[in-house]
Amino acid sequence: MTVQDGRAVPGKETAGFTLPQVHEAWLPREHSLHRPRHGKRQFVALVSAVAFFATPLVAWTFGARPVAFENRELVAFPSLSDGAKFFTKLPQWATDHLVFRQDAVHATDWISETFFGEPVPLDGGQNGGGPVPGNPVAPPAPSPGEPAGPEQSQPPDSSGFAKVVQGRDGWLYFGGDAQSKCQPAQPLDRTIAQMNRLRQIVERSGRRFVLVVAPDKTTAVPERLPSSYPGKDCSRQPSIDFWNRIVAEAGALDLRPQLREAATVVKHEVYHRQDTHWTDEGALVMTRRLAEAVQPGVTRTWVTEVEQQWKSNGGDLSALMGRKGEMSGAQYRLRPDGKVDRTRALGSKFVEPMVTRTAQGSGVVPQRVAVLMDSFSLAAARYLGAGFANLTLQNYLDFAKTPESAAATIAGQDVVVVEMVERALAAGGGTLISPQFLDRFEQLLPPRG
């Protein structure tokens, strides 16, 4: 930029040397290259940027830490060994570890509800959360893992589906319930065939096989759903087909009638209002049905009674929305023989096989039983441990990680139970019934001794 005739002219040289460059803001207003500084606005923008980036840093220095509030672990810092994926994983890590993010989400939700009369849109993009490990939507290829988890699968394309569906009277539903029917990873024919192959492998080894499907909340409590929500139309018929076929062709235990009966007895729904899982009443329904499937008539002497009422903050669906939820319910005592309470807390996610034993006797299933479970069985664990004399519990995602350890776990069992939530099985079933796992598991599973 040079000066000519009292004016600054870009790119002009005089007598072999170049005059000092002139900032475009200093050019006369009529000059075509003139650009004002916008000094005040630039200053405000600079201060805002410094505040945005510096406030979390200062807060961190004084002890504030990011909080995992979406019912999942905070994303770990990516490894350089990930190659190019390091750069794609970095933004999610940075987002997760932003101090005060939870408060920002709550503030956004409040503003949207207060001034616009509607919740913050929770659809589109990606379904990175999911209520809890064990309740996923399977991926498009045979690489899920968790009913979806650490191999926690992402949906094929969550565009247009809500993470959380807001129903009537404060009820929340997981959007993956509908998405699993609308966008399954594979046809239902193939899923049923693979589940039946797992059954055949177990039964050919001399063991019994039991499949129990935990109904989605949208299936069990449809009357609280809104009149319209993403996936309602495309999931309706697949849901009907799923239940007709999974019971008739895969031999699954259908808990729906007993769940409705239990709700009538206790005079409230047996699923939590702001969580995707069933209450302890639902867990007891499953426990009783499993016991009867393994040892018919064994529950005739069972007596259950309320031990305590409880209330807490929480709910995986409210957490997925960035809200502080509320949960309440009852915990029960189970007396298999009608006299002795055998329930006890089993605080574990069952990543590794957990063996529990209780004394044999009236009302107790004597067989050695392995329950391959997802998060719906967490509430049932204390009751399963009371009603089964020799029980092994393990999350089926972790069970299916290595066929060698899976075969070792089953080697000492008489009965193998698979408990899987409806949406996971409707979406494709995950690693547990993938051809790769089944091929190797079949080779390694020894005959029942």
CA-based end-to-end distance of the chain = 91
Of all helices (H) and strands (E), which one includes residue 308?
strand 303-313
DSSP-derived secondary structure letter, 298 = G
CA distance 420 to 253: 11
pLDDT at 116 over 50: no
325-357 pLDDT tens trace: 889 999 999 999 999 999 998 877 899 999 999
Lowest mean pLDDT among 13-17, 193-197, 262-266: 13-17
Half-sphere exposure of residue 170, counting CA atoms within 13 Å on the CB side? Answer: 10
Q: What is the mean pLDDT of the chain?
A: 81
pLDDT at 99 over 70: no
pLDDT at 248 over 70: yes
Judged by DSSP in three states, 312 sits in strand
pLDDT confidence of residue 311: 93
pTM: 0.71
Nearest to 163 by CA among 256, 98, 71, 236: 71
Q: Which residues pair with 105 in a beta bridge?
A: none
149-174 pLDDT tens trace: 323 333 334 457 899 999 999 999 99
276: left (phi over 0), alpha (psi -120 to 50) or beta: alpha
Domain residue spans of the chain: 2-63, 185-271+279-302+344-444
Residue pair 134/146 in contact by the 8 Å Cβ criterion = yes
Of all helices (H) and strands (E), which one includes residue 303?
strand 303-313
The percent of residues in the chain predicted with pLDDT above 70, rounded, is: 69
pLDDT confidence of residue 88: 73
pLDDT classification of 300: cutoffs 50, 70, 90? very high
260: left (phi over 0), alpha (psi -120 to 50) or beta: alpha
